[in-house]
Amino acid sequence: VRAMGHELVEQFYEPDELGKALRDFDVAIIRSKTKLRAKQIDEAKGSRFKCVIRAGVGLDNIDVQYAKDNGIEVKNTPKSPSESVAELAMAHMFSCARYISIAGHTMREDKWEKKAYGKGIELTGRTVGIVGYGRIGQALGKRCQALGMKVLAYDIYQNKDLECDTMRYVEMDELLANSDIISLHVPSLPGQPLINAETIAKMKDGVILINTSRGTNVDEDALLAALDSGKVYGAGLDVFAEEPAKNAALYSHPHVSCTPHVGASTVEAQKRIGQEIVNIISEKFGL
């Protein structure tokens, strides 16, 4: 952006400062930590501020319709993080299946727990249920199929051309009942969490749950209870209901593989996000 002759200010603003600060900018580029709500929009509207770009996929940290109603265009970069998030979800699958996270941790404590962690499972031949079969879900589905896994996909929008011997669309209850592994790739949903005590009860015993979407999509208390009972074999979590994560009982559980919301944090994804942002700005201002 600077190379194109524009002024670029890199600064984090607290919520009570953000709205007024935006009045001095034409475009704001934000990540998931920054929330653009009605209060900030009211303070910024009527000024030169005309566009907000979410550097990433999810738009749940922006009151999108309210922004649009007040003349502020809302954009995101949906294509850029897909491969990185899919690879992290895959990594968490391997970690849960083979106790990689906890086994590595115990070795750093000078322990040799070969017997305790020598009874993992193979992913090949398993069925993975992917909730949300958009760009990221499809990228994960391809990787799972390449490993010899079968894919059950749930999505409101279905591309039947993707269906084949190793991938088909199903209703949610069928996905819950027949998946060995369930991976979430949907935005933050209103109402109760998508994964709760009721939906967990519908799953196979010994299921693996992966969440690289939004932490609020999972009832953490229900998941913790299911991990303790063995209903859930393992969980791979990149996102949490509160971030930075405060639920130590969950993220320190021996059957949990966890990362601090780094799904799109690869060199390649960040370059693609940057290029998408430049393209949006160029198109917006006819550059």
Active centre residues (catalytic): 214, 243, 261
Q: Is 164 exposed, middle or buried (0-12, 13-18, 19+ CB in 10 A)?
A: exposed
Task: Kindly state the tokens that stand for 212.
Answer: 């690289």
Distances (CA, A) of 224 to 128, 167, 221, 251: 21, 30, 5, 9
Distances (CA, A) of 46 to 9, 82, 230: 21, 35, 55
Contact assessment for residue 180 and residue 126, using Cβ atoms and an 8 Å cutoff = yes
Which are the contacts of 198, defined by CB distance < 8 A and separation ≥ 6?
none
Q: What is the DSSP letter of 188?
A: P
Q: What is the DSSP letter of 215?
A: G
To the nearest 10 degrees (0 to 180), the angle between helices 82-98 and 100-107 is 70
Contact assessment for residue 130 and residue 152, using Cβ atoms and an 8 Å cutoff = yes
